[in-house]
Structure formats: structure tokens, C-alpha cells
Amino acid sequence: MSINPLESTAELTKSPSFFERSIHRDKIGISTNMTEHKQPEQGLQHQTAREQLLGVTAQRIRQSLDLETILNQTVTELQQFLECDRVIITRFEPDGSAIIVVESTVVSGCPFLGTIIKDPCFTEKHIERYKQGYIHAVEDILAAGLAPCYIDLLASMQVKAKLVVPILLAQDLWGLLIAQQCHQPRQWQQTEIDLVKQLADQLGIAVQQAQLHKQVECLKVQQKLQLQKQTTELQYFLKFEPVVRRMTEQICDNLDESQVLQAAMQELAEVLQADCCQIELYSDDQTIATVAYEYTNILPRCQGLTRRVADFPKIYHSLLQKQLTQSMEIVPGWNLRLSVVAQMACPIFDAQEILGNIWVKRQTQATFHEFEVKLVQQVANECAIALRKARLCQVIQTQANELEKVEQLKHEFLRSLSHELRTPITSINLAAQTLESVLKQEKLFDIELVTQLLHILHKECGRESKLINDLLALTYLEAEAESLTLIVIDLQTWLPSIVEPFREVAYCQQQQLNLIIPNELPVLETDITDLERILTELLNNACKFTPAGESITVSVCEVADTIVLSVTNSGVEIPAHELSHIFEPFYRIPKNDSWKYAGTGLGLALVRKLVKRIGASIEVQSVSGKTTFTVKCPQFLA
């Protein structure tokens, strides 16, 4: 009867004696001639059965991913085909040992399935040989020259002969396919060796296929877990992100520390479904912790309570090291029943110091989720910003109050000083005038020295009087003691009246004074006294520093709803590095002679204050031998 090579495994293994019927030696008494006549037919049947075994094994590997079933069916069919006593498959472990993972045997006694084999004679050298495809066929273990330790191992398994073929995955040795004869030695035929070698190759493919399938399944599981994690992260993000955003907005918009932090505890408790959220703050020396803010649904309330850090070393040691802690605690509830409470304490700190801790308590036996932990840490960071901001604001406010007191004392001192100085200067000036009158009566005024001394006396008295007046005016401006008096000014009429008194001074100093006013110019609403003082100081300054033969030009124009007043003098140029200092009180350009250009040193400082007071701006440019002061006044039309 012919055998179909495409028959299923089940059909092949319906009867355990299938291979015996195919290749078993004829034990019925027949003549020698009949035996010789049957030998070619038996060889053909043997070849057909071998090919069918290989084909069925290959088909099984293609159709199934169950490695255990493939290995078990293969060793069973191989043991029947070879008519040997035992066929096993060993798998190598990372520690170098081997475990018997599949066994098919007809030997009585204990099976060796699951046995771990630690062969001391099996070295790295043997592993490398098997990786190269080495096949070890032993007909008689006692006559093969094997090591004594190896013979003892084989004898413990009743092995007399064996055939060992490696199962390889690429260049890695996965295990061994071993056929064993236990009752007597055996001579292994080349066709048997080739068959075992081909089956080992197919089993290598099956193992690799199973491993790849396992990797794919693991990858699917990982992808599924990753998707679940990402979905969970997104859910937590959508739930928690608004909380952090609102806290950030409150910190930016609100300077009230208590309002911000109390609201934060309420929101945190609601979003985490916690029974209690607290903020405790450390004392300056970090020895006392006080519950400063609390939101709770349970009793008793703890806000305002304090505890010594030294009394709870295990808790506060970690917190003072900026480490978040979680714990479970059994506590009596409000109904006197014991309940399990999950607690989380998160330190509040910034770059400077540890400020306190956030406590979250919830009646549950489950620990806090990692995203809940991250939320509390983010809230702790926001609380640190709020606390630091509040403390900085408190420091700034304290400093501002102190500065305000100092400013008030300074202004009071300057006003007192100005008033006190004004009286003796007035007396000195009066005495000088009296002395001048007496000297004229005594006809001593014509003496040149007397004339020079009186001139110096009058000049310095005038200078000191102006200094006192400027200082007093500057003090009033800094204190903002006076309010503006807005008046509509017609610049075409008003400006010449301001410039005209300086023509005689310019003429005496051989200077040219020019005034440029356009025909059409809008009116300007401002404080006329302050604007007059500004122009007067700028003209005084220009007349003082303009050399003989040079010019002074006063001009006015309208630029984009702004009145621009300029005072320019030629023949003088201020170094660029000095321009940023000329508006400072008592500042003098180093190269200028203070005796030649006598002044109070407060003129330009007073100008800047007045310009700011009327809502205008001033700038100075000094290039190409010219210096220009420009005042820009916004138009306030009546």
C-alpha cells in the first residue's frame, strides 16, 4: 500500500505501529530467498516513510505556531521511525546547563522530562563545535573514548549508544536533538543521521518561527499597553492641566498669597477627590511646621496647628531632602470607625530654600497614581512661586515704605535747609547794599579794589540765592507738592516775550540770537509757569556756553500732533559719554571752568523734572559743533 506524503499528522499517528509496519523486519518464518527478494521493497518503503516524515513535519511547522506540540509530535514520530529507546530535545539555559524539554521513550522507569543536566565535561569548546554543525554519533559509549564524567552521566540515563544533532538558530546553539539506545549498542546508519539532521534543521525553523511569533505578540501587548498608557496620560492631562493653568493665572494676577494658596488647596482636593489638602510652612530655622492653609471634608480641622520637626524625624528627613513621600495610615474616622488613609507629602521649594510641604490625604487603600504625583509636584512648584512672590512683594513694600520715609525726611531737610539759608543770604545781600551806599557817601567807591570786591559779593549773593531757589523748586517737584495749572498758550505771541529779554545778554556777549516761528501753529495747553522756567533755563545755559561770534537759535514746529521746541547753540559740542550725565544734579562737564561758567549745577536737573511734570519729554544731541535741546509737548487743546 502506498503512502500519501500530504497526509495529516493525525493520519500519520493513528497507530503507534505505523512505522513498525513500514520498516519492521519480517519475523515470520520465510526462506532466505524471500528475504532477499523483499529487501529492495523494504528499502523503498523506508525511503518513502522518511520523506513523508520530513514532509509532514515541514507542513506541521507551516500550519502551526504551537512549538510544544510540534516538538512532542516530532520526537514521537522520530522515536518510532528509528525504533530507538528514547528521543529527547534539550534546550540550553543562560547558565550553561541544559533542560530536557521534550521526551519520547519506551524505557521503563522514571521519565527524564524537565530534568536539568549539568554536564561538567561539556565545555565552551563543545558548544563552538556544535555551532559549526557538528554531529556526534556514538555506537557504544564504553568504546568511544568518552570522558569518565560523561560516561557516568550517560550511564545514569541507561544510555548505551546515542546520536546528537544541534538545533541552531542562525549561528546560535538553541539545543540538541538526541536519539538514544538504552538496551544495547547501536550502529547508526548514514540515512538515519541525515534524517535527524534534516529534522533538527526544521525544528530550528520552528523554534525561530515561535520566537518571532512570541516577539510579535509581545510587541502587540507592548503597543496595547503603550496605547493604554498614552490614553491614560491624555485623560489625566485633560483633567489636570486646567488646574495648573488656573493656578498660574492666579499667581500672575493676584498678589494675595492666602487667596491663591487657599484656592489651590480646594482645587487640588476636588480634582484628586481627596478628603484633605494642606500646606504647612516651615519656620525660618526649619524646626517648626505650621498648617497655614487647609481644605478638608473631614474633622478635625488642623489649620493653625504646629508640630516640631524633630518629633517626626522619619517624615521630615526625606521632605527636607526635597523627596516626596507616600504612606498608608490606619486612623479613626469621624464616625469612630477605623479607616485606611493614603497620604502623600510633597516638598515646596525653590532655588533658595525649602518653604514647606503639601499634604494630600485620601481614604483609600490604593496609592496615588504617578500622574497624581506629578500634578501635586506641579502644584507645589506653583505654590513655591506664589510664596516667593508674596515674600518678595512684602520685602519690596517694606523697602518702599522705608524709602518713602527717607524721601520725606530728605524733602523736609532740604526745605528746612533752603529756608534757613535764604535768611542769611538775604541779610548778606542787604549788608552788601548798605556797605556800597556807605562807601559812596564816604567817596571810597571809586577805589578799584573796593569795586571788584563789591561786584564779587553781589554776584555770589545772587548765585547763592538762585541755588537756594532751584534747590527748593527741585524739592517741591520731587515731592509732587504742587499741581499743574493748565493754560492755553498762543506760542506765536508768547514765545517772543520769553526770548526777547535774552537779546541784550547775547548782544553783550557778541552772540546771535534767532527765533523761528511758523505762520500757522496750533495753541498749546500746558502749565505756563513750568514751560517758561524750562525755556529760561535752556536759554541761560545756551548763553553761558556759546562762544563769541556763534549763534543761538530757538525754534518751534508741529510734528504729528506734538509741539516741538528746540534750543540750539553753535560753537560747542558735548562729548558723547557726557550726554547721559548732564541732567544729573550738580554735574559739571569736567573740562569746563567752574569759575568761568558760574552756575548752580541744578538748572538742567530742574528742566528734566519740569518736563516730566508737564507730561513732555526732552532729549539732547551734540554733533558737528552744535548742541540741541529738544522738548516735545503733547497738544492738549482747549
pLDDT for 551 equals: 92
C-alpha–C-alpha distance, residues 348 and 326, integer Å: 15
C-alpha–C-alpha distance, residues 388 and 349, integer Å: 9
- pLDDT higher at 412 or 77: 77
Query: Mean pLDDT lowest for which of 207-221, 325-339, 534-548?
Result: 325-339
Q: At what angle do helices 257-272 and 370-441 cross, to 10 degrees?
A: 170
pLDDT for 596 equals: 46
What does the chain come to in residues?
638
C-alpha–C-alpha distance, residues 568 and 539, integer Å: 9
Which residues neighbour 11 within 8 Å (Cβ) at sequence distance 6 or greater? none
- pLDDT higher at 592 or 572: 572
Does pLDDT of 77 surpass 60? yes
Long-range contacts of 594-603, Cβ-Cβ distance < 8 Å, separation of 24 or more? 597/544, 597/545, 598/459, 598/463, 599/463, 599/544, 600/463, 600/466, 600/467, 600/470, 600/471, 602/467, 602/470, 602/471, 602/474, 603/470, 603/537, 603/540, 603/541
DSSP, collapsed to helix, strand or coil, labels residue 87 as: strand
Q: Which helix (H) or strand (E) holds 475?
A: helix 448-479
Does pLDDT of 339 surpass 70? yes
Does pLDDT of 315 surpass 80? yes
Assess if CATH 3.30.530.20 describes domain 483-634.
no
CATH architecture of 9-214: 2-Layer Sandwich (3.30)
Phi, psi of 257 (to 5 degrees): -60, -45
Q: Tens digits of per-residue pLDDT, 511-538? A: 999 999 998 888 888 988 889 889 988 9
- Compute the half-sphere exposure of residue 633: CA atoms within 13 Å on the CB side of its CA: 28
Q: Per the structure block, which three cell numbers stand in for 620?
A: 539732547
C-alpha–C-alpha distance, residues 217 and 631, integer Å: 81
Does pLDDT of 304 surpass 60? yes
- pLDDT higher at 158 or 297: 158
> What is the pLDDT averaged over residues 598-604?
65
C-alpha–C-alpha distance, residues 610 and 474, integer Å: 9
Query: Mean pLDDT lowest for which of 131-140, 378-387, 405-414, 467-476?
Result: 467-476
Q: What's the pTM value of the predicted model, to 2 decimals?
A: 0.44
C-alpha–C-alpha distance, residues 10 and 69, integer Å: 12
Does pLDDT of 323 surpass 90? yes
Which residues neighbour 236 within 8 Å (Cβ) at sequence distance 6 or greater? 369, 371, 372, 375
Phi, psi of 622 (to 5 degrees): -140, 100
> What is the pLDDT averaged over residues 70-90?
93
**Which CATH superfamily does the domain covering 251-381 fall into?**
GAF domain (3.30.450.40)
Does pLDDT of 26 surpass 70? no
Does pLDDT of 508 surpass 80? yes
Domain 403-478: give its CATH code.
1.10.287
Does pLDDT of 19 surpass 70? no
Query: Nearest CA to 162 among 182, 133, 148?
Result: 182
Does pLDDT of 153 surpass 90? no
C-alpha–C-alpha distance, residues 543 and 152, integer Å: 124
pLDDT for 33 equals: 47
User: From the centroid of its chain, how far is CA 206?
Assistant: 49
Q: How confident is the model at residue 86 (pLDDT cuts 50, 70, 90)?
A: very high
DSSP, collapsed to helix, strand or coil, labels residue 552 as: strand
Does pLDDT of 473 surpass 50? yes
Domain boundaries, the chain: 9-214, 251-381, 403-478, 483-634
Query: Nearest CA to 511 among 534, 537, 535, 545?
Result: 545
**Helix/strand/coil percentages in the chain, nearest 5:** 50, 20, 30
C-alpha–C-alpha distance, residues 252 and 224, integer Å: 41
End-to-end CA distance of the chain: 126
Buried b (16+ CB within 10 A) or exposed e, 275-304: bbbbbbbbeeeeeebbbbbbbbeeeeebbe
Q: How confident is the model at residue 447 (pLDDT cuts 50, 70, 90)?
A: low
**How much is the CA Rg of the chain, to the nearest whole Å?**
54
Helices (H), strands (E): how many in the chain?
Answer: 15, 19
9-214 and 251-381 agree in CATH topology: yes
Determine what percent of the chain is predicted with pLDDT higher than 90.
30
Which residues neighbour 328 within 8 Å (Cβ) at sequence distance 6 or greater? 340, 341, 342, 343, 365, 367
Does pLDDT of 114 surpass 60? yes
Q: Which helix (H) or strand (E) holds 402?
A: helix 370-441
C-alpha–C-alpha distance, residues 637 and 523, integer Å: 7
pLDDT for 31 equals: 39
Q: Tens digits of per-residue pLDDT, 164-185? A: 999 998 888 999 999 999 989 9
pLDDT for 243 equals: 77
Buried b (16+ CB within 10 A) or exposed e, 402-433: eeeeeeeeebeebbeebeebeeebeeebeebe
pLDDT for 111 equals: 86
pLDDT for 636 equals: 55
List Cα–Cα distances, 206 to 174, 393, 580, in angstroms. 12, 74, 87
Burial of 351 (0-12, 13-18, 19+ CB in 10 A): exposed
C-alpha–C-alpha distance, residues 392 and 252, integer Å: 14
Q: Tens digits of per-residue pLDDT, 4-15? A: 332 333 333 333
Q: Tens digits of per-residue pLDDT, 341-359? A: 899 999 999 988 999 999 9
